[in-house]
Structure 1
Amino acid sequence: MRNETLLLTNVTLIDGTGRQPIKNATIEVVNGRFGTITEYRDTQFKNGKVKEIDLNGLVMLPGFIHTHAHTSFKFLRNEPFHGYHKEYLTACFEEGITTIRDEGMTTNATIDDVIAHSNRLDSVLFPRLITSGKVFTAPGGYGGQEPIGVGNVEEARLKVREVLEKGIHFIKTALEDGYDPSTFGLPKLNQEILETICKEAREMGAHVSAHVTNAKNLRILVSSGIHDAAHMIYDRLDDDLIRQMVEKNVRIVPTLTVLKMFQDKFGAPLLKQGLDNVRRFVQAGGEIGLGDDFVEEEKPWYRLGMPWEEIRLLGDAGLTPMQIIVAATSVGAKICNLSHEIGTIQTAKKADLFVIEGDPLANIDNLRKVKFVMKEGNIRFC
């Protein structure tokens, strides 16, 4: 496909920007990127060798972006798993997810292990992986088996630069007091160190994502300069903090599936507040991504592939199908710091897309009816 021009014709285009669909669109793909996009069949394309695929009124969307999953170096069935969870990656790809942001390893593997395994992943067979490696935390703090514990500003500065220079894509930090009596009172990073982590990452062109579960800690993280909160908090997200986050373009990946699971399994009454927080955040102009904090398959909450429970819960929070699609595409690209390359079907961006049967704006379940997936011009899963 990379050496010829591909014309995808007679398709209804939902481009990821939130604009109304374009019917009977023609999309040109050249060398793995989108070329000319028109609302009709244009025979005057400049490139020579052309292959045309008539999509007969099917619907095209940008490849979805899953912005909170754990795909490697984690615990599966309480046993350490080294390498990438390829069964999960394949299932995601088959269902239209072309990019996954990995929110950190939890085993005692090294950053070098992550880089080595990432470099060996076949870019044609699997979604694009954006990884944070290990979590930055206080010594002895929250963040998996062997997180990166930093005790002072200089150590934080050096460690951020070290992991980014090795090829890690973004920084993950945490401000967590603990979940239960056995973990209450965990050591936490102070604001000066958090500000240093965010400043160093920003200077190197990288984003900072933060694990956080309560408003008090989220307020500290927002003022320190994070780019996104990796979860919706469990208590009330007050209007003043929402305003600050909107003004600073701090986004949230709600992971409402976690709240639903905790409620179902342990009776923790978290979901109602989480849904309300998401609703008010989005109504105020806040941007959210699609992600469910996948670690392993655990039905009915977690499955291999598209995070359908998360999509359903976003609908329960009041989001329209178009808002969910935008969260999974253009906002996901912003969260991944890749909006210049992916997230929308626009000229010069990488040709990531999937084609479905049926209108997802009328019924979001039509996203399940995948006909084929394309990543960087390569068609997969026809």
Structure 2
Amino acid sequence: MRAMLAELLRTPRLPSVWAWSLLARLHVTATGIALSLHVAGWTDSYLWAGVVSAGLALGSGAAGPLRGRAVDRRPSAPILVITGVLYSAGLAALAFLPPSLWWLGPVIALATGLFLPPATQVSRVVLPRMVPERLRASVYSMEAAMQELLFIAGPVGAAAAVSLSGARAAVLLCAGMALAGSLGFAWSVRRAGVSQPERPDADPADGARPAASAAPRRGGVLAVPGVLPLAAAYGLLGVGFNALDLALVAWARDRGTPGLAGVLALVWALGSLVGGLYAARGGGPGLVGRVLLAAVGQLAVAPFLPPLMAGHPVVLGAALLVSGTTIAPAIGAIYTRLGEVAPAGRRAEAFGWLSTTATTGAAVGAPLAGALLDGLGPAAAVALASSTAWVGVLVVRRVPKLPRPADESVREDART
């Protein structure tokens, strides 16, 4: 694993592009907390805060494939600059919106979400292009692992900003991070020479696997075998992740220690980071096996929550740490296979659909998990998390197997 990391870090321009790609996405995990607390101050209603946050998420998810298609067809650097300016302006408008105009919040949030900078799609297209074929699966696994750092740093930073300077300042900080990150990422991809869109006839770097075929004229990229099942599985995992988050919040709040929810979420994310780093070395289970382990990992948390068990923080934290180790490997496997089955020149659009299905999964899973929490308790919400992950196992089994390389000495990292 150290040798793999050393080789990645030696790749020209890769560390800079990767660092800026993470900074360009840091604001996403911080905006939810900052915006919710800011909007709640308008009307003293967390319901309205949820409506405004839902508007931002809806706009972001709905435009995900469109932003990806734009990246597939045009240089990514100018797109990052334009969307970064417009998105940060939208957040600033929400920050300075007078409380008397509270009813405009969802409209502005929806419009702002449409211009979320496509840093995620760009990173998942350009990073694999910068390394040899044999390292692409490792890059996707590392990408999934590094993503966990965002889920740790973003909320913590937002909470600190709210405590020090207030919710409005925290929203403005998120706007500034979105702008600075987008501009820096645009500069780095242009400097690395990967701003231009991928050629539709591009072949893998070392010729180990045939290039993906062009997307069908009817049905677009979703009609390519494997793309729709992978996007659906990603959304199903998103239902589970959101349900487990809500279960932890409810458990901590009911026992009078709401701060423990953040601590346990941090433990869960650290477990995922460890699992992703381990998976990045290569080998291990394939796509179906990793999604299966994620389903098992989520189910393993349920017995340690009410009403099955009172939920001792140390025991629950240990269960979450183990469960977390299955998350990033499963997500990394989905990234890897999607990058392989999606046609060259349409991969950013395919990754845009992941954003859409994840948003849809969260929107569907939140009310279901909430109803189960109210009626049966946190363990039932976690059971929902596990059940959707098990459906995801069945779905990814429909992803077609890839032809093995002619050179058997080339390792196939994403086998089924």
TM-score bracket relative to the smaller structure? under 0.3
Q: Give the TM-score normalised by the residue count of structure 1.
A: 0.23
**More strand, by proportion:** 1
**More helix, by proportion:** 2
Q: Give the TM-score normalised by the residue count of structure 2.
A: 0.22
Greater relative contact order, per chain length (Cα 8 Å cut-off, separation 6+): 2
